[in-house]
């Protein structure tokens, strides 16, 4: 009883509502899917009126854009971690694997990151820079693999090819367009596809 006013205060002026909303959103994301994450439901979960969210985010796109930006940050981190200490010849394979398994572990987040929500100009700069950084990490890895400068056309092309391939593979699997046989590990599946490319270029 004596806590009534205190509790009311707590829920009225939360203070760090922005981060509470973001982490609630992240928690709900994988349950409800990338398209059905609503400002109202997220606010509800935090225990705050849905209009409160609009003091911290301009709109739903911005909220969801922050989530996506964090996703790219995580992805860049994972890529860098897995790359550390990997011998040169294995770098592409290791990066592809790290990328693919990040996508599989966070399917809804991954769909958000590459989904149709930020098609054009309605995109926050935070997302744009996080994205760029993740792609930068990829280019860095490819540059080391090829032993070329990261700014060369060759590295850019190879990074684009590698990104396209792994992103495509992850996207097809996540959307159930392609179903990897149940007995096959992520590792073997990525290898299968890389091997497939090798045989295309062998001819």
Partner DNA sequence: ACCTGAACACCGTTCAAGT
Contact residues for a copy of itself, defined by CB under 8 A: 33-35, 89, 92, 111, 114-120, 123, 131, 135, 142, 145-146, 154, 156-169, 171-172, 174-178, 192-201, 203
* Residue carrying the six token digits 């367009």: 177
* Residue carrying the six token digits 């922005």: 18
Q: Is 7 in the site for DNA (CB under 7 A)?
A: no
Considering beta carbons, is residue 17 or 38 the nearer one to a copy of itself?
Answer: 38
Report the chain's terminal Cα–Cα distance, integer Å. 79
Distances (CA, A) of 103 to 52, 73, 143, 158: 32, 13, 23, 21
Candidate residues 45, 60, 104, 156; the one interacting with DNA per rule CB under 7 A:
60
Distances (CA, A) of 100 to 58, 94, 107, 190: 32, 10, 10, 8
Query: Nearest approach, Cβ of 110 to DNA (angstroms)?
Result: 20
Q: Is 39 in the site for DNA (CB under 7 A)?
A: yes
Say if residues 75 and 102 touch (Cβ distance below 8 Å): yes
Q: Is 17 in the site for DNA (CB under 7 A)?
A: yes
Candidate residues 29, 48, 97, 155; the one interacting with DNA per rule CB under 7 A:
48
Say if residues 148 and 155 touch (Cβ distance below 8 Å): yes
Q: Is 4 in the site for DNA (CB under 7 A)?
A: no
Other C-beta atoms lying within 10 Å of the C-beta of residue 174: 17
Q: Is 23 in the site for DNA (CB under 7 A)?
A: no
* Spatial CB neighbours of 197, under 8 Å, sequence gap ≥ 6: 165
Q: Is 12 in the site for DNA (CB under 7 A)?
A: yes
Considering beta carbons, is residue 3 or 55 the nearer one to DNA?
Answer: 55
Partner whose binding site includes residue 56, from DNA, a copy of itself, none (CB under 5 to 8 Å by kind): DNA
Partner whose binding site includes residue 104, from DNA, a copy of itself, none (CB under 5 to 8 Å by kind): none
Considering beta carbons, is residue 15 or 85 the nearer one to DNA?
Answer: 15
- How many Å is the Cα radius of gyration of the chain? 20
């Amino acid at each position: 009883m004596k806590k009534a006013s205190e509790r009311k205060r707590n829920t009225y002026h939360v203070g760090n509502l922005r981060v509470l909303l973001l982490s609630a959103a992240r928690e709900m994301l994988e349950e409800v899917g990338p398209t059905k994450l609503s400002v109202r439901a997220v606010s509800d979960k935090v225990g705050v009126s849905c209009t409160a969210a609009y003091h911290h985010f301009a709109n739903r796109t911005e909220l969801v854009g922050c989530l996506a930006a964090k996703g790219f940050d995580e992805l860049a981190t994972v890529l860098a971690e897995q790359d550390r200490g990997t011998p040169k010849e294995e770098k592409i394979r290791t990066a592809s694997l790290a990328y693919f398994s990040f996508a599989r572990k966070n399917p809804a987040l991954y769909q958000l990151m590459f989904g149709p929500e930020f098609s054009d100009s309605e995109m926050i700069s935070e997302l744009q820079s996080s994205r760029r950084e993740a792609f930068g990490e990829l280019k860095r890895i490819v540059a080391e693999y090829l032993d070329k400068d990261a700014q060369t056309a060759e590295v850019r092309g190879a990074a684009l090819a590698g990104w396209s391939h792994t992103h495509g593979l992850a996207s097809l699997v996540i959307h159930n367009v392609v179903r990897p046989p149940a007995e096959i590990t992520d590792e073997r599946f990525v290898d299968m596809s890389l091997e497939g490319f090798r045989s295309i270029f062998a001819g």
